[in-house]
Structures are given as C-alpha cells and as structure tokens.
Amino acid sequence: MKSYLRYSIPCLAVAILGFGLSLPAGAQATDETEYIVRPLPPGGPPPLLANGRPDLTGHWFPNGAGQGVSGRFGVDPAALGTFDREATPESPPVFQEWARARIDAMTPTELELSKSSVNCMPRGVPAIWLQNPYTTMLIHKPGLLAQLYEVLNNWRVIHLDGRPLPEYPEPLFHGNSAARWEGDTLVVESTGFDDRTYILPNGWFHSDQLTVTERYARPSMNYLIVEITVDDPEVLEEPWHSAPRRWTLGDGEVYEFYCTNNRELEELQLLRELELAQEEEQ
C-alpha cells in the first residue's frame, strides 16, 4: 500500500507524458482517454430463456472490463477485480478458535503450497467463484446450467429440473447441487465436498459439514452477479456471506489450461525444506 501511495502522484504526471510512446501494440491510449480499458456499461436488459427466466449464458470475465486486465497497461482501476471493497465491503469469516489456530500455524510457504494455483488441485466450489482469475463460460438451458471453467479445464453441470440434493452425497470438488429460482435469481445449494479444497487462498479450510449457497443474477446484458454463502458449523462461528461478485461479458476463446508443468510446487517445496532445516538449527 505504501508503494501505491508513494508512486501515485508523480506517476500520474509521468503516465500522461509516457503513455502512447512505447506501449504494446493494441494498448495505445488515444488523445481523448486516460484509460484504454474501462468498465463495461450495463448493456441493456438481460436475455431471457424460453421460460422467461434470465439467460445466464455467456463468457464471463472476473473483472469489470469483459476482457483480460492482468499485464495490461492503462486499465481503469474501477474495472479491476470482482468487487469494490469500499462500496461493498466483505466481512472476514469468523473462525472457531481451533480453526483459527490451525490457520495461524501455517507458514507463508505452507500457505502458498496449499493454494490450488500452486498444487494444481481443483479449486472446487465455492473457491472457483471466489479465487479464480480466469474466465468461465456458462451455457444455460431451461433444464440445466453448464459451467465451463477455464482454470484447469474444470466443468460442472447443475440440473435445473427441481431434483433434490442426494440423500447420501459423495464428496466432490464441486459438491452435489440442487437449484431453484427466487424471482430472477438462480439459487444453487450444494453439499458433499472434497475436504482437500480451500474456500479462500488464506488457509480457510472446510469440514465435511460444508454447505454452499450460490446466488446468480444477471441484472443486465453485460453483468453477472454471483453471491456466495458458506455455512460450515464445524469450522465457522457463523455463516459467511461474500460481497456481490461481478463478472462481465466478454468474447474470445476459453483457453485450454491443463496444469502439467507447474514448477512452483517444486520450488516452494525446496524453500520449505530450507525453512525446516533452519528451524532445526535454531
């Protein structure tokens, strides 16, 4: 944060002088614009399915721009991220004492090793909506909602035919889901999760008592809003509610992404071994 403040003011002047002079092709600022990537406008009313419900179909980007923003120059900060922490603050989860102690005991390296972005385990639900920088394509039919996650080439099918949750759910990365409509919001409740996933990349683990509620809304053509509730009475003191997370409509490819060559795992394991050796010496 200090870096942010220290560099902001002088950088504004430099940016005005410098943008457009040696930026990547396709990233040139125009004379009239400060930013070349801005938040998408609402885009009019959402499309509807034959049954009159909002059609969630689209290629959704986890930001306000409807395109990739990482590594791009001239991105309006208002287009970054899935929510504005000041406008829609998100309370932290309230952990039971034993769970808090377990998380606090993790070293930074252990924390990093636990991340699916390092160990290539599936993110699972709800993390795939909370800690996923890649896109998701939704294909929505009256009877089902298919979710094609770019990350790790994962996918999920949610049936919309009113079927109940299974009586004996097996532990799955994406859980076992049942869906219903509440007005124009699709509500998906899921139980039965593989306990190797984390809710957020901060060590927040879960128990086999985890229940996740996803609420999907498409208030306009260009915006998908996803809200998550996490209930886990063995780990949390109370249910946790996410901020409304915005995803914006884009186009282009849903890229192949099989995680087969992640050297971070090896490098971090080596670092952890060094840390353990140092701890033994002390």
Partner 1 sequence: MKTSMILGTAAVICALFVSVPPASAHHAFAAEFDSESCRDFNGKLTRIDWQSPHAFFYMDVENEDGEVENWSFQTYALITLRRNGTGRHLFVQNMGEDIWVRGCLAKNGRELYAAAGLLRFEDDVLRQVGQIQN
For partner 1, the binding residues (CB under 8 A) are 1, 3-4, 6-8, 10-12, 14-15, 17-27, 67-68, 70-77, 80-81, 108-109, 111-112, 115, 117-118, 120, 131, 133-134, 150, 200-202, 252, 255-264, 267-268, 270-271, 274
Please report where in the chains the tokens 């050297």 appear, as a residue.
Answer: 263
Rounded-to-integer distance, Cα 139 and Cα 55, Å: 9
Identity of the residue, 115 or 218, whose beta carbon is nearer to partner 1 in the bound complex: 115
Rounded-to-integer distance, Cα 173 and Cα 156, Å: 10
CB 102 within 8 A of CB 113: no
Identity of the residue, 49 or 272, whose beta carbon is nearer to partner 1 in the bound complex: 272
Output the smallest distance, CB 59 to partner 1, in A. Answer: 12
Rounded-to-integer distance, Cα 127 and Cα 262, Å: 20
Rounded-to-integer distance, Cα 199 and Cα 158, Å: 20
Q: Is the peptide bond before 126 cis (omega within 30 degrees of 0)?
A: yes
Identity of the residue, 4 or 168, whose beta carbon is nearer to partner 1 in the bound complex: 4
Output the smallest distance, CB 157 to partner 1, in A. Answer: 23
Output the smallest distance, CB 207 to partner 1, in A. Answer: 22
Identity of the residue, 185 or 202, whose beta carbon is nearer to partner 1 in the bound complex: 202
Output the smallest distance, CB 126 to partner 1, in A. Answer: 14
- Residue 145's nearest CA partner among 178, 173, 167 is 178
Identity of the residue, 18 or 43, whose beta carbon is nearer to partner 1 in the bound complex: 18
Identity of the residue, 82 or 177, whose beta carbon is nearer to partner 1 in the bound complex: 82
Output the smallest distance, CB 151 to partner 1, in A. Answer: 9
Output the smallest distance, CB 213 to partner 1, in A. Answer: 22
Identity of the residue, 49 or 200, whose beta carbon is nearer to partner 1 in the bound complex: 200
Three-state secondary-structure class, residue 115: coil
- Residue 272's nearest CA partner among 101, 108, 104, 103 is 108
CB 242 within 8 A of CB 81: no
Output the smallest distance, CB 135 to partner 1, in A. Answer: 8
Residues in contact with 119: Cβ distance below 8 Å, sequence separation at least 6, in sequence order = 113, 262, 265
CB 163 within 8 A of CB 179: no
Identity of the residue, 22 or 282, whose beta carbon is nearer to partner 1 in the bound complex: 22
End-to-end CA distance of the chain: 33
Output the smallest distance, CB 23 to partner 1, in A. Answer: 6
* φ/ψ of residue 213, rounded to 5: -120, 120
Three-state secondary-structure class, residue 172: strand
